[in-house]
């Protein structure tokens, strides 16, 4: 058994993702690693019970130990509040952790030889760097029920106000914000990640329309890139700014091998588009990287609610655990790097190879079967997939 020196912070989650998480840990991690895990239950019922204090405690612990691994969690809407009898609509745990660590989320597809991308030109991974602060995720929203005059009042040494809109009836409005510190941290994180991966860096916004808000992002990115110009030239990569609509058009014709830095909302959307283009959200990794060197790994997909209901009925499901396995391997590899224990990193590499070998043998879950080339006649259930990964892992160890 391989000894892991320092702890990994484990954040459990919800529904089918939680079920798979337990299988992965019991079948593919704990039999091979003597690993200290600091466990937090971020399931929705425990977050409700603790008034979401558990999420903040988990974030603080990741900051202390540097590496966390997270299962997918529910961000409750009105239906979920009723379903789980929650006291209030708790915030997204991911948003809470991102804000506390001031981190940037990087999402990268897992390439498999027999799952060709839907976009023929894509040959290399397209990594999405998503800004992790502000915009609509921490916006003030208000529903207007009767005529009113909307003004913005600014208070510092002086008081000034700006008229925004005169409502003559019902409507809605939203106030967004961001900070220079967060934007600059985002830019620096993307630059560092692009340099480490040796891939070109794109940043996109809509400064032709939002000349101040989006323009501020563009300005800060350019400033930070200029500071690292020599580093870009040394590793042979380039920085390009695009209007967001142009970036989407250019991406369809690009072969990949780039890091596309996106603002918060756009990153949320485009990461799902990239995942679908490369096969499935089940083949998409996600890592939150803070400016101070903290890392939190997770799958890019959600809790797989529909499959969970089938599971509760006692029916087997073919839910893809690949991205969740890669969340574990990402955290294990990073722990090994920080602890200078190459045998730990080596285990992570072998587990990933075992997963890829399994899919490339034609043993895959239902989401991947229609995408396979050459075609695969039958798909397997989650337990069967994990069992085959375990067999392939045993051969590599």
Query: Closest by alpha carbon to 8, among 338, 289, 290?
Result: 338
Dist CA 385 CA 298 (whole Å): 19
In which order are the strands placed within the sheet that holds 239-243?
37-41, 8-12, 67-70, 295-299, 284-289, 104-109, 126-130, 258-262, 200-205, 239-243
- The helix/strand/coil state of 324 is helix
The verdict on whether omega for the bond into residue 385 sits within 30 degrees of 0, i.e. cis, is: no
Which pLDDT does position 313 carry in this prediction? 97
Name the strand (E) or helix (H) holding 118: none
Report pLDDT for 281.
80
Dihedral sign computed on CA atoms, order 117, 120, 123, 126:
negative
Tens of pLDDT along the chain (397 residues)? 999 999 999 999 999 999 999 999 999 999 999 999 999 999 999 999 999 999 999 999 999 999 999 999 999 999 999 999 999 999 999 989 988 998 899 999 999 999 999 999 999 999 999 997 889 988 999 999 999 999 999 999 999 999 999 999 999 999 999 999 999 999 999 999 999 889 999 999 999 999 999 999 999 999 999 999 999 999 999 999 999 999 999 999 999 999 999 999 999 899 889 988 998 888 999 999 888 889 999 998 999 999 999 999 999 999 999 999 999 999 999 999 999 999 999 999 999 999 999 999 999 999 999 999 999 999 999 999 999 999 999 999 9
- Confidence at residue 196, expressed as pLDDT on a 0 to 100 scale: 86
CA contacts within 13 A on the Cβ side of 238: 2
CA angle at 203 for the pair 264 and 244, rounded to the nearest 5°: 75
Residue (of 389, 384, 319) closest to 351 by Cα position: 389
CB 224, CB 90: distance < 8 Å: no
pTM of the model: 0.89
Say how many CA atoms lie within 13 Å of 172 toward its Cβ: 5
CB 199 within 8 A of CB 127: yes
Helix (H) or strand (E) holding 302: none
Q: How far apart are CA 122 and CA 167, in angstroms?
A: 47
What is the C-alpha to C-alpha distance for residues 65 and 6, in angstroms, rounded to an integer?
A: 8
Q: Which of 3.40.718.10, 3.40.720.10, 3.40.50.720, 3.40.50.10950 would CATH assign to domain 1-108+284-397?
A: 3.40.718.10
φ/ψ (deg, to 5) at 215? -60, -30
Tokens of 226: 């200029």
Given CA atoms 116, 119, 123, 126 in this order, what sign does their dihedral have?
Answer: negative
Residue 102's pLDDT is: 86
3-state secondary structure of 90: coil
Instruction: Confirm if 78 and 88 have CB atoms less than 8 A apart.
Output: no
Q: Which two tokens stand for residue 231?
A: 């580093």
How far is the CA of 395 from the CAs of 117, 316, 354, 392, in angstroms? 29, 27, 9, 5
The domain segmentation of the chain, as residue ranges, is 1-108+284-397, 116-135+178-278, 140-175
- How, if at all, do strands 171-175 and 140-144 pair? antiparallel
May I ask the CATH architecture of the domain 116-135+178-278?
3-Layer(aba) Sandwich (3.40)
């Amino acid at each position: 058994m391989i000894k892991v020196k320092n702890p990994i912070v484990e954040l459990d989650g919800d529904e089918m993702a939680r079920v798979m998480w337990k299988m992965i840990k019991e079948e593919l991690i704990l039999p091979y690693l003597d690993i200290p895990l600091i466990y937090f239950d971020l399931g929705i019922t425990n977050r409700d019970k603790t008034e979401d204090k558990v999420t903040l405690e988990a974030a603080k612990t990741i900051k202390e130990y540097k590496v966390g691994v997270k299962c997918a969690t529910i961000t409750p809407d009105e239906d979920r509040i009723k379903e789980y009898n929650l006291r209030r609509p708790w915030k997204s745990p991911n948003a809470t952790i991102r804000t506390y660590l001031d981190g940037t989320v990087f999402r990268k597809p897992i390439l498999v030889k027999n799952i060709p991308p839907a976009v023929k030109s894509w040959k290399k991974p397209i990594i999405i760097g998503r800004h992790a602060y502000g915009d609509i995720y921490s916006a003030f929203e208000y529903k207007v029920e009767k005529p009113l005059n909307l003004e913005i009042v600014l208070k510092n040494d002086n008081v000034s106000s700006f008229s925004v809109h005169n409502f003559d009836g019902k409507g809605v409005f939203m106030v967004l914000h961001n900070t220079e510190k967060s934007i600059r941290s985002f830019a620096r994180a993307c630059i560092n990640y692009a340099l480490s991966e040796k891939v070109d860096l794109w940043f996109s916004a809509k400064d032709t329309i939002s000349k101040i808000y989006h323009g501020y992002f563009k300005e800060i990115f350019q400033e930070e890139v200029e500071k690292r110009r020599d580093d870009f030239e040394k590793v042979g990569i380039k920085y390009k700014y695009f209007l967001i609509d142009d970036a989407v058009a250019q991406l369809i014709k690009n072969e990949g091998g780039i890091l596309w830095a996106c603002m918060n909302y756009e990153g949320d959307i485009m990461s799902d588009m990239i995942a679908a283009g490369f096969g499935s959200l089940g083949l998409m990794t996600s890592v939150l990287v803070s400016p101070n060197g903290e890392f939190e790994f997770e799958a890019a997909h959600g809790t797989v609610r529909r499959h969970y209901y089938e599971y509760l009925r006692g029916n087997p499901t073919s839910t893809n655990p690949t991205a969740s396995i890669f969340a574990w391997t990402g955290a294990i590899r990073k722990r090994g790097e920080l602890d200078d224990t190459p045998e730990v990193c080596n285990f992570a590499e072998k587990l990933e190879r075992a997963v890829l070998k399994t899919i490339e043998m034609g043993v895959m879950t239902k989401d991947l079967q229609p995408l396979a080339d050459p075609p695969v006649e039958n798909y397997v259930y989650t337990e069967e997939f994990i069992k085959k990964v375990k067999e392939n892992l045993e051969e590599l160890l």
